[in-house]
Chains A and B, each alone.
Chain A
Amino acid sequence: MTPLAVSIIGTIASLALVVVVLELIRSRRLRERYALLWLLTGIVLAVLCAWRDGLNTIAGWLGIRSYPPAVLFAVGILFILAVLLHYSTVISRLSDQNTLLAQRLALLETDQRAIARTGRPST
């Protein structure tokens, strides 16, 4: 059985996470599309913490007899990995866009200098 203290603290922490994410969205410091995974993480963890029978049942399915809250760690780590992977794709896209912008800027400046010098584009 999950200790009561673990259940209470876990629920509070998970709900706090959800509240913080909602506040970040509200104050426009976090875009919704990046917040979805975080919200899902918070909600799933909160449910698992609060619903002690459910946690025990799931632990039973997985063959975890000695310490059911281990399921919480597993789920938490899984979500954190998903969020990190998601961020890697975001960073990759941003850096591609960043490269493209730098190239376009450099080419525009070159053309603009040529126009300023000769009064017409170089080609």
Chain B
Amino acid sequence: MGSVRRVALVPAFNEEAIVGRVVDEIRAFDPSIDVVVVDDGSYDRTAEVAQEHGATVVRLPFNLGIGGAVQTGFRYAFEHGYDLAVRLDGDGQHDPSQLDRILAPVLAGEADIAVGSRFAEEGAGYRSSRSRRIGIRLLAWVVSRIVGRRVTDTTSGFQALNRRAIELFAHDYPHDYPEVEATIMVSRHRLRSVEVPVSMRERGGGRSSITALRSVYYMVKVLLAIFVGLFRRNVVPEEGTS
């Protein structure tokens, strides 16, 4: 296990209050892991704080949004030759002490990408508004139909990826609703993907990009993006090209 070069990718936008703790917790979980914080054009001290806590900081010149920021991380991981990447959000909702859960299937070679799901276990205790729960169910149902296996959490950014998955995302990553579209992309490229039950915490700072009021609007846009994505040509050659 020690020979596997691994990196933790943390996209962060204006998370100075919490990003230091996230970096510390990742390093506490695994001192051998390199922590890379992708600062998505923050105008607070996110980059400085992350650096002070020992992370490598990739600082985008302006805000690209979550998709562009995460892809920057995958590009970094790919170009620096990492075998394994985990992705956690910079707002602290992903608990680094649960990293071994999502790492296990990838390390065992059972999956190319493992996604931590809040809903894979019944009564996982994740609280959210009613409209959001309905939206999450509906999205999960649609995505499950498309990819042909049960997906319960389509918007989770708590993921572990092997080299193949890193390469795919470094070259092509959706911009608008990255997690949902990426789930479908992964299945189209025939990468093996599994869901692992995890519990997530309340957001440490900042605000969710999805407020309850906008849920319906969000749903419509995501569904549209999914269906448009189905007709979209693959940019990356199908398999095994590098």
Contact = CB atoms under 8 A, between A and B. Distances in A.
Nearest to A105: B61
A53 interface: no
A102 B80 contact: no
A107 B58 contact: yes
Kindly list the 6 A-B residue pairs having the minimum CB-CB distance in the complex, ordered from nearest.
A123-B80, A103-B72, A106-B60, A110-B58, A106-B58, A99-B68
Contacts of A106: 38, 58-61, 72
A109 interface: yes
B79 A107 contact: yes
A99 B173 CA distance: 12
Nearest to A99: B68
Contacts of A114: 56
Interface string B52-64: 0000111111101
Q: Is the interface on chain B under 10, 10 to 19, 20 to 34, or 35 or more residues?
A: 10 to 19
A88 interface: no
B56 A107 contact: no
Interface string A105-118: 11101100010000
Given A103-B64, A122-B80, 19 more contacts: A99-B68, A102-B61, A102-B62, A102-B68, A103-B68, A103-B75, A105-B61, A106-B38, A106-B58, A106-B60, A107-B72, A107-B75, A107-B79, A109-B58, A109-B59, A110-B56, A110-B58, A122-B56, A123-B81
A114 B71 CA distance: 20
B175 interface: yes
Contacts of B56: 110, 114, 122
Nearest to B39: A106
Given A110-B59, A122-B56, A103 B80 contact: no
B141 interface: no
A106 B76 CA distance: 10
Contacts of A99: 64, 68, 175
A16 to B, nearest CB: 39
Nearest to A109: B59
A122 B56 CA distance: 10
Contacts of A122: 56, 80
Interface string A89-104: 0000000000100110
Contacts of A110: 56-59, 76
Interface string B63-106: 01000100110011001110000000000000000000000000
A123 B80 CA distance: 6
A102 B175 CA distance: 14
A114 B34 CA distance: 14
Contacts of B80: 122-123
17 contacts: A99-B175, A102-B61, A102-B62, A103-B60, A103-B64, A103-B71, A103-B75, A105-B61, A106-B59, A106-B61, A106-B72, A109-B58, A110-B58, A110-B59, A114-B56, A123-B80, A123-B81
A32 B38 CA distance: 39
Contacts of A109: 58-59
Nearest to B80: A123
A105 B62 CA distance: 11
Greatest chain B CB density within 10 A among A106, A107, A110, A122 is at: A106
Contacts of B62: 102
Interface string B40-56: 00000000000000001
A109 B60 CA distance: 9
